[in-house]
Amino acid sequence: MIHLSLNNEPVQVEADTLLSEALNAWGYGDAKIAVAINGEFVPRTQYTIQPLHDGDQLDVVKPVGGG
């Protein structure tokens, strides 16, 4: 298991977990979201190849509509 921070909350995932797998497990599925790992934006095209590492800090945000 590796330990991560998801929106400042501690979480654990299996070693060798990809970002897309973790997002699905956390209930984000196909939601319109933006993800940063350790402060760096991750393009959606990279979700299926982006591995997660012990100690990573993930920020997941959903766009807010309004005016």
- Per residue in 5-39, pLDDT tens? 999 999 999 999 999 999 999 999 888 999 999 99
Domain-embedded: residue 24: yes
- Predicted confidence (pLDDT) at residue 63 exceeds the cutoff of 90: no
Amino acid at 7: N
Other beta carbons within 10 angstroms of residue 9's beta carbon come to 8
Domain-embedded: residue 67: no
Domain-embedded: residue 10: yes
22 Cβ partners below 8 Å, 6+ apart? 13, 52, 58
Domain count, the chain: 1
Q: How confident is the model at residue 62 (pLDDT cuts 50, 70, 90)?
A: confident
Q: How confident is the model at residue 41 (pLDDT cuts 50, 70, 90)?
A: very high
CATH number of domain containing 19? 3.10.20.30
State the pLDDT at residue 67.
64
Domain around 28: 2-61
State the pLDDT at residue 31.
87
